[in-house]
């Protein structure tokens, strides 16, 4: 399970360090794709396969399902960690998530998310980030 928050930089070539704790669970190769909330989602291959199976059974006749599947697959790339613990993020993914210099990697259970540092701080610092209303909604899911 992924958890924690790590701040680091992305260089001019799009290289970013994958935190050691995340590398252990991600393995040598993993998938990075466009996430929700303008961040990137990073999945170990096993978890990506599970997601892929769920997406493949969505009805082809549903425009929303087709759009959602395209969104995840078109933005996806398989990455491999180099000897210095870095991956190269392609320009299209960096642009999507506004990754320029300072970034934050966070663990979110089965995946890692990569955020623009300023966007993460704004998102994370919103008043009542996890408030009673949100907690009540999560209770509907048995949390």
Q: What is the DSSP letter of 130?
A: T
- pLDDT at residue 23 tops 70: yes
* pLDDT at site 42: 98
pLDDT tens digits, 31-40: 999 999 999 9
- pLDDT at residue 6 tops 90: yes
pLDDT tens digits, 71-123: 889 999 999 999 999 999 999 999 999 999 999 999 999 999 999 999 999 88
CB contact set of 110 (below 8 Å; sequence gap of 6+): 1, 2, 43, 47
- pLDDT at residue 128 tops 60: no
Asked if 93 contacts 103 with a C-beta cutoff of 8 angstroms, the reply is no
Q: How far apart are CA 82 and CA 91, in angstroms?
A: 18
- pLDDT at residue 132 tops 80: no
| H-only helix segments in the chain | 20-26, 45-56, 63-74, 91-96, 117-125, 132-139
């Amino acid at each position: 399970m992924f958890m924690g928050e790590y701040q680091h930089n992305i260089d001019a070539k799009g290289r970013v360090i994958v935190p050691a704790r995340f590398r252990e669970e991600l393995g040598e190769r993993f998938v990075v794709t466009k996430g929700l909330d303008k961040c990137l989602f990073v999945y170990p291959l096993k978890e990506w396969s599970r997601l892929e199976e769920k997406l493949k059974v969505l009805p082809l006749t549903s425009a929303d399902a087709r759009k959602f599947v395209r969104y995840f697959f078109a933005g996806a790339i398989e990455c491999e960690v180099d000897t210095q613990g870095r991956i190269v993020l392609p320009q299209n993914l960096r642009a999507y998530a506004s990754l320029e210099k300072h970034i934050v990697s966070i663990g979110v259970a089965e995946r890692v998310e990569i955020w623009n540092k300023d966007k993460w701080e704004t998102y994370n610092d919103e008043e009542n980030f996890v408030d009673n209303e949100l907690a009540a909604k999560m209770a509907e899911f048995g949390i």
